[in-house]
Amino acid sequence: MPKTQQWTLTKENYHSNKADQEFFSVSQFKNFIECEAKTMAKLSGAYTEPYSNALLVGSYVHAAFESNEAFEKFLEENNGAIFKARGGKYSDFETADRMIETLKADPFAMFAMEGDKEEIYTAHLFGTDWKIKVDSIHHGRRTFSDLKTTQDLYKRHWSVKYDNWVSFVEAWDYVLQMALYRRVLQEVTGNTYTPYIVAVTKENPPNKAVLHFDATRFDFEYEYIEMKIERMLEVKSGKAKPIRCEKCDYCRMTKQLNDTIEIGELIWQ
């Protein structure tokens, strides 16, 4: 089981505030990119993310492929959010059931998700300790896969990061996630694992795909992490003051006006 010098990460404490304070993760990295102030407020315990039904639905789908026990536990813990008082499931979870059934009926998708589930790894990279939890990892084939839900496989998104139109995979920084997971696994095992994304859509009927990556894509992501991480570490350690984005829910909630802005700034912020 992965350990720091003083602390052990487990499935039970992986998402805890203490774990987030001691380790960087891909989600924390992305949070810092979006808003430093909100991320620091979350780390200090001063702010808690509001309930998100979309995140709950995503967790529901993931739990269905972890194990029967994990899925039953998830249903029990979230019964009120999933099931209507008069019977049946809320529409979002009926959609999720169609997504689950679509993947379970596809042998190639299930093959891509074979392996050990929800394994935790840690490594020291880019000047800090990182934690990852891998959806499915097959040590025999040296592959790992991550299950992603999306609205539409083929929808285009404009990306400031890439300065181009991109797929949902780049738009939500899943390339960065797979690159970082790959690097952590190299550090831990000494071997190079090949990542895949198993994607399923919320359409009716759902679409699906198993996605692979040209390995040259990862080079840019490693350079991007190196470019951003120094500033993040300074902010996280308290050496630098976090910058507010003035757009996220936390910034809107805590905003205090003290000046005017010229209208042109509304589209260039």
pLDDT, tens digit (0-9, with 9 covering 90-100), for 193-223: 999 999 999 999 999 999 999 999 999 999 9
Cα gap 219→143, rounded to integer Å? 19
Region of residue 100 (phi > 0: left; psi between -120 and 50: alpha; otherwise: beta)? alpha
Any alpha helices (H) in 90-173, and if so which ranges? Answer: 91-104, 107-112, 168-171
Domain count, the chain: 1
Whether 1 has a pLDDT exceeding 80, the answer reads no
Residue 166 lies in a domain: yes
Q: What count of residues does the chain have?
A: 269
Residue 67 lies in a domain: no
Pairing of strands 143-150, 194-201: parallel
What is the average pLDDT across 112-139?
Answer: 96
Measured distance between the N- and C-terminal CA atoms of the chain, rounded to whole angstroms? 44
pLDDT bracket for residue 21 (50, 70, 90):
very high
Q: What local confidence, expressed as pLDDT, does residue 123 receive?
A: 96
Whether 226 has a pLDDT exceeding 90, the answer reads yes
Residue 215 lies in a domain: yes
pLDDT bracket for residue 244 (50, 70, 90):
very high
Residue 99 lies in a domain: no
Q: Which domain holds residue 26?
A: 17-50+106-268
Residue 9 lies in a domain: no
28-67 residue pLDDT tens: 999 999 999 999 999 999 999 888 888 899 999 999 999 9
Whether 3 has a pLDDT exceeding 70, the answer reads no
Whether 105 has a pLDDT exceeding 50, the answer reads yes
What average pLDDT does the chain have? 94
Across-strand partners of 208?
200
Q: What is the CATH number of the domain that holds 261?
A: 3.90.320.10
Residue 27 lies in a domain: yes
Residue 37 lies in a domain: yes
- Check: CB of residue 195 under 8 Å from CB of residue 142: no
Residue 86 lies in a domain: no
Cα gap 167→173, rounded to integer Å? 10
Whole-structure pTM value:
0.92
